[in-house]
Structure 1
Amino acid sequence: MGTSLLGKAALVTGASKGIGRAIALGLAAQGAHVIAVARASDDLATLDDELGARGETWAEDASGDGFLERIATLSKLDILVNNLGTNRPKPLVEVSDDDLDVMLDLNLRSLYRITRASVPLMYEGAAIVNISSQMGHVGSPGRTVYCMTKHGVEGLTKALAVELAPQGIRVNSVAPTFIETPMTKPMLADPKFAEFVKNSIPLGKVGCVEDVAEAVIYLSSSASKMVTGHSLLVDGGWTAQ
């Protein structure tokens, strides 16, 4: 069994740039028809051009009700990639209620609602892949809310895997280490922080977006047909220590 996704319909949230963009393009390259979702932007427009006939873009706020209503118009869905998320790293005592609410909503609540809206369109052989983080397996200073939400994603992944198994729907997560993206660029621009990150990764380097996309392709394909409830760590060995 290979990783061909020919004829599959895939929905990817947070798709305009970074990891989500790489996932959308990677799934399309394997033959899936990709619906790439993000708020309207130049990045989303250029992604639409890159996808061409292999997919389409939806300019939607993926945390809003309008997006859920649009999902319901689809006839079927074979692959759901929940990539929506954000981070506001701060010490505990500096985290505002707004910081807390934004991260809880984007990283966990929206993922839950999108999945709930998508499952009725999924059948035996379908796959859900949640983009989690190595921080869903460990703790880290200045990332209390992020770690909390990503641990929640990992728990939800396991619970959904058990609940949806009788329907033949597999549910897994991909948990990356620090990946070079627009979101992490400001953090990694700090030489002290960049050194800390690289010293914490046994392979001695941060990941690239394609590393995550390839893991998603595997978990979306028949190559992983007996894999469910699993978190695939793409972390260069960070959590093995």
Structure 2
Amino acid sequence: MTAKFEGKVVLITGAASGIGRATAIKLAEQGASLSLCDINEDALSQVVKELPTAKKHMYLKCDVGVSARCEAAVQHTLASLGKIDFVFNCAGVNPTALEITETTDEYFDKLVNTNLRGPYNITRAVVPHLKEGGAIVNVSSTAGLRATKGFSIYCATKFGIIGFTKAMALELGPKGIRVNAVAPGPIDTPTMAGNVAGGNANDELIASIALGRLGQPDDVADVVVFLFSEESKFMNGSIVEVHGGSR
């Protein structure tokens, strides 16, 4: 495989599973050195074992909702790997279908702290260290583009990520740093709403997708890798939907 990312360092949050894990593997295969962050340290250690051993990689337990942890993760990455070229803000919490009166302060805080405050914390910590040619990719959702009944708080966080991404693109673009986002639809991970709901939920999801299947983490990872690559060098402030033609 072509080493498109030879000599590059990528910081990835939410790297222990799903889209974060798939993206880590693809970037490592293309020559990148990785700093992997997640709250699940045991799973992170397993991901590192799957990466090519020729490159230097590291992993850190990090709750992205805590600003001090994010600052520490950035500083540890710089100390160990020397720089940061790209950032993938992938850490997130999937929603539970709840009417607004059924939600709690704790549920609100959990989603907002991880899905919205997390990318803010990491971005604020890393921007002083990014150089021209750097890039950030955030994870929104199709629920950040089209509201979904029962997911009001989740939608608020994912709509917020789109606004944050576009504002950062304007702020950092003059410095030669690009900021884009992916907006996945139904991706087959253990925490996907259909898998959590069980029963016929996934059959209904698949029926609404033109390509006739659920997305896989690799489907999104391919787009993220593209957004870090030179092939996307004039994309800034873009929101790329990855949903197979969902209705």
* TM-score, reference length from structure 2: 0.90
Task: Specify the alignment match of 1:45 in structure 2.
Answer: 45
Task: Specify the alignment match of 1:6 in structure 2.
Answer: 6
The answer to whether the Cα contact below 8 Å between 2:64 and 2:121 also exists between their aligned partners in 1 is: no
Query: Following TM superposition, where does structure 1 have runs of at least 4 consecutive aligned residues deviating by more than 4 angstroms?
Result: none
Q: How does 1:34-113 map to 2 (within 5 A)?
A: 34-51=34-51, 52-54=53-55, 55-64=57-66, 65-73=68-76, 74=78, 75-89=82-96, 90-113=98-121
* Distance change in 2, residues 1:115/1:20 (3 Å): same
Task: Specify the alignment match of 1:215 in structure 2.
Answer: 223
The answer to whether the Cα contact below 8 Å between 1:88 and 1:99 also exists between their aligned partners in 2 is: no
Aligned partner of 1:178 among 178, 186, 203: 186
Deviation at 1:32, TM superposition (A): 0.8
Deviation at 1:184, TM superposition (A): 1.4
Deviation at 1:42, TM superposition (A): 3.0
> Does residue 142 of structure 1 match 2:150?
yes
Deviation at 1:189, TM superposition (A): 5.7
Q: CA RMSD in A?
A: 1.8
CA deviations 1:189-229 (Å, max 9, x no partner) are 62332122112211121100100110000001111000010
| Alignment coverage as a number of residue pairs | 238
The answer to whether the Cα contact below 8 Å between 1:71 and 1:118 also exists between their aligned partners in 2 is: yes
> Could you tell me which amino acid in structure 2 is paired with residue 61 of structure 1?
D
* Distance change in 2, residues 1:133/1:35 (3 Å): same
The answer to whether the Cα contact below 8 Å between 1:3 and 1:223 also exists between their aligned partners in 2 is: no
> Could you tell me which amino acid in structure 2 is paired with residue 143 of structure 1?
F
Distance in 2 (CA, whole Å) between partners of 1:139 and 1:20 is 24
The answer to whether the Cα contact below 8 Å between 1:161 and 1:228 also exists between their aligned partners in 2 is: yes
> Could you tell me which amino acid in structure 2 is paired with residue 15 of structure 1?
A
Deviation at 1:69, TM superposition (A): 2.4
> Could you tell me which amino acid in structure 1 is paired with residue 74 of structure 2?
I
Equivalent position SS for 1:187: helix
Equivalent position SS for 2:200: helix
